[in-house]
């Protein structure tokens, strides 16, 4: 079959399957990034809280998930969570397998990894807020919530945006390792297509192009967001 046949949308063409895989990759990475944001801000907060135990726990989390190969984390999250859930369900009397859907497991795995990096991004962003601003806010009588909402959150987001943009790219690529969960994202479609048609190059090159397109378009979006978020800041170098 020629290359147009393979990537076509007609009978026997894999075009639709590849596009659907790319869409799934986007979805699962986006959910992973969001989960990672929740985990990351919790860990960053733990490390900044000054609480000894919380700080140590946050540090251990970040060290562990930044130190393990992503593939291992995917394995542990996917099969660990299903085994755990099934055991718990068994205890309350439900008999049989309680699966974590592959999508949830995949997003969770991407999120657990991303969270360990996002923690560092959020922490650095918080530390980049000028001390004087915080002191000034307190001295004009802002309460903690107002301080967080008006001073801390907007600036943390602004300072964290470039880092988050990088981590978004990382999440997109980490999602290529969750094919072990059986989720039909782009990498899995490429692999299955390659094996089923014996045309590996066509499929991997197709995958490469789609991944590149996704990162280029989404990076552009992050750049725009960054430009907007920093429009009030003076720039030293482009």
| Residues making contact with other proteins (CB under 8 A) | 12-14, 16-17, 63-64, 66-72, 75-76, 78-79, 82-83, 86, 90-93, 95-97, 99, 117, 169, 173, 176-177, 179-182, 184, 187-188, 190-196, 198, 200-201, 204-205, 207-208, 211-212, 215-216, 219, 236-237
Question: Cα(16)–Cα(203) distance, rounded to whole angstroms?
Answer: 13
Helices of type H across 68-199: 70-91, 102-127, 131-139, 144-146, 153-174, 186-197
CB of 140 or CB of 233, closer to other proteins? 233
Nearest distance from residue 216's CB to other proteins, in Å?
6
CB of 150 or CB of 220, closer to other proteins? 220
Question: Cα(58)–Cα(42) distance, rounded to whole angstroms?
Answer: 8
Nearest distance from residue 144's CB to other proteins, in Å?
28
Nearest distance from residue 196's CB to other proteins, in Å?
4
**Residue 94 φ/ψ region, left for φ over 0, alpha for ψ in the -120 to 50 degree band, beta for the rest:** beta
CB of 101 or CB of 154, closer to other proteins? 101
Nearest distance from residue 156's CB to other proteins, in Å?
18
CB of 69 or CB of 132, closer to other proteins? 69
Nearest distance from residue 141's CB to other proteins, in Å?
32
Long-range contacts from 126-130, C-beta under 8 angstroms, 24+ separation: 126/44, 126/48, 126/152, 126/156, 128/155, 128/159, 129/155, 129/156, 129/159
Q: Which DSSP symbol is given to 150?
A: I
CB of 41 or CB of 211, closer to other proteins? 211
Q: Which DSSP symbol is given to 149?
A: I
């Amino acid at each position: 079959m020629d290359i147009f046949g393979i990537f076509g949308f007609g009978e026997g063409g894999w075009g639709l399957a590849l596009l659907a895989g790319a869409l799934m990759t986007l979805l699962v990475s986006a959910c992973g990034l969001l989960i990672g944001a929740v985990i990351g801000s919790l860990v960053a907060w733990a490390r900044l809280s000054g609480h000894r135990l919380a700080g140590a726990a946050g540090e251990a989390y970040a060290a562990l998930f930044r130190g393990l190969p992503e593939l291992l984390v995917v394995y542990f999250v996917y099969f660990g969570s299903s085994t755990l859930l099934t055991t718990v369900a068994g205890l309350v009397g439900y008999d049989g397998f309680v699966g974590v859907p592959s999508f949830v497991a995949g997003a969770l795995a991407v999120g657990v990894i991303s969270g360990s990096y996002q923690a560092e991004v959020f922490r650095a962003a918080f530390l980049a807020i000028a001390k004087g601003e915080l002191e000034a806010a307190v001295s004009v009588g802002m309460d903690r919530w107002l301080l967080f909402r008006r001073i801390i959150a907007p600036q943390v987001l602004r300072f964290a945006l470039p880092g988050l943009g990088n981590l978004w790219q990382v999440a997109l690529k980490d999602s290529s390792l969750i094919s072990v969960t059986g989720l039909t994202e782009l990498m899995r479609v490429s692999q299955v297509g390659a094996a089923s048609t014996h045309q590996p190059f066509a499929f991997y090159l197709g995958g490469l192009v789609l991944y590149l397109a996704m990162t280029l378009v989404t990076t552009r979006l992050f750049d725009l967001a960054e430009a907007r978020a920093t429009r009030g800041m003076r720039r030293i170098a482009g």
